[in-house]
Amino acid sequence: MTTVDVPHSSRSAVLRISAVIPETADACSVVFEVPEELRERFAYQCGQFLTLRIPSELTGSVARCYSLASSPHTDDRPKVTVKRTAGGYASNWVCDNLRAGDTLEVLPPSGTFTVKDFDENLLLFAAGSGITPVISILKSALDRGNGRVVLVYANRDPESVIFAGELRELAAKHPQRLTIVHWLETLQGLPNAEALARLAAPYADHRAYMCGPKPFMDGVHDALAQLGLPRNRTHAEVFNSLSGDPFSTDSPVEVSDEEAADAATVEVELDGQVHNLRWPRRQTLVDLMLSKGIDVPYSCQEGECGSCACTVVSGKVEMDSCEILDPEDIEAGYILGCQAHPVTDHLKIQF
């Protein structure tokens, strides 16, 4: 039995597992119990993820982000789904070891792969375990909105289709609103941009969401570009393995008097509130906001998860790392708060 009693961070919590559900031969879902006193902290939006602290004999632990496949609108408890990856320590450990009644240390929900308007028509693309955040969005949109939802779902073969039964039930329950197109590699080969563009052509006016391996995502991006879908109507979720430890309680960067005197000024808008702050050049935006007691969204602090993505309205920053952002994102002003340092003396940023 896996038992954790005390969290390693003031941000994390220990949650009990209520069920482990086999989904396919190489994927399982983990359902968590959230006690009443943690309900507010663990409230989530569809498309977000949880960060789990996985025990490791070699390093003590590793941190991994897994998307929530449950919907906050239709499911009683949060559920993440994990698919084994070749040589993947954490995914194999979860599938091999976790049982109902075990406990794990978990960070609160995070992520920006979410939907603002459930009444919009949605075009969803998923491949393999990329279905996990996508089905959360799909279920939420069907329950809360009135738009059409189209899902293009690619897998190796019929046995690899995660949530096959649940998708059949949803299609039967919402025949006028939900369209599901399955792409099976054993029958159709690997999907390419031209084929995906043909599938998506009737829905080129929808808002698009995608999640899956990089070659699949590249093909979807190319397909939507061929159809002229604006970049601001396309949203992608990227799976990354964290190299740092978001469960650590590192001390904040100390700022000297000289650095404080040279600090930039920044106006940060978060959740409808505006914060006017002095921003030392050596601090990241996330570190600055945390030092001021502001509940800024973040998870990994390594530039690998996108939880702290925000927009520069005016001014300029430099980033230590920004590999998960597309060039179009950077051109549109998106930055990673955990990697950003001020360049100009005055800035305005929105979360």
What DSSP line would sit under 191-238, residue for residue?
A: --HHHHHHHHGGGTTSEEEEES-HHHHHHHHHHHHHTT--GGGEEEE-
pLDDT score of 238: 78
110 phi and psi, to 5 degrees? -150, 175
- Mean pLDDT of the region 5-27: 91
Element of type H or E holding 336: strand 334-336
- For the record, the structure tokens of 82 come out as 């994990």
152 phi and psi, to 5 degrees? -105, 115
Contact in structure between 115 and 47 (CB atoms under 8 Å): yes
- Mean pLDDT of the region 171-183: 97
pLDDT score of 253: 62
Model confidence over 239-271: pLDDT tens digits?
766 666 778 765 556 778 888 889 999 999 998
Q: Considering the chain, what percentage of its residues have pLDDT values greater than 90?
A: 74
Query: What is the rounded CA–CA span in Å between residue 1 and residue 100?
Result: 9
Task: Decide which of 152 and 240 is more confident.
Answer: 152
Model confidence over 63-111: pLDDT tens digits?
999 999 999 999 999 999 999 998 889 999 999 999 999 999 999 998 8
Residue 218 has pLDDT above 80, yes or no: yes
Residue 3 has pLDDT above 80, yes or no: no
Residue 54 has pLDDT above 90, yes or no: yes
pLDDT score of 244: 66
Pick from 145, 208, 126, 138: nearest CA to 166 = 138
The dihedral through the CA atoms of 154, 157, 163, 165 has a sign that is: positive
pLDDT score of 241: 65
Which residues does residue 347 pair with via DSSP β-bridges, in sequence order?
A: 266
- Mean pLDDT of the region 55-62: 82
Residue 29 has pLDDT above 90, yes or no: yes
Average pLDDT, the chain: 92
- For the record, the structure tokens of 295 come out as 């509940």
CB burial of 323-351 (b: ≥16 within 10 Å; e: otherwise) equals: ebbeeebeeeebbbbbbbbbeeeebebeb
By DSSP bridging, strand 122-127 and strand 149-155 are parallel
- Mean pLDDT of the region 201-216: 96
Residue 1 has pLDDT above 90, yes or no: no
Residue 132 has pLDDT above 70, yes or no: yes
Which residues does residue 113 pair with via DSSP β-bridges, in sequence order?
A: none
Element of type H or E holding 277: strand 273-279
- Mean pLDDT of the region 288-316: 87
Residue 308 has pLDDT above 80, yes or no: yes
- Mean pLDDT of the region 205-214: 96
136 SS3 class: helix
pLDDT score of 252: 59
Domains parsed from the chain with CATH numbers? 13-109 (2.40.30.10), 122-237 (3.40.50.80), 257-350 (3.10.20.30)
Helix axes 164-173, 131-144, angle to 10 degrees: 20
pLDDT score of 134: 98
Residue 198 has pLDDT above 90, yes or no: yes
Which residues does residue 17 pair with via DSSP β-bridges, in sequence order?
A: 32
- Mean pLDDT of the region 273-277: 95
Task: Decide which of 247 and 198 is more confident.
Answer: 198
Residue 297 has pLDDT above 90, yes or no: no
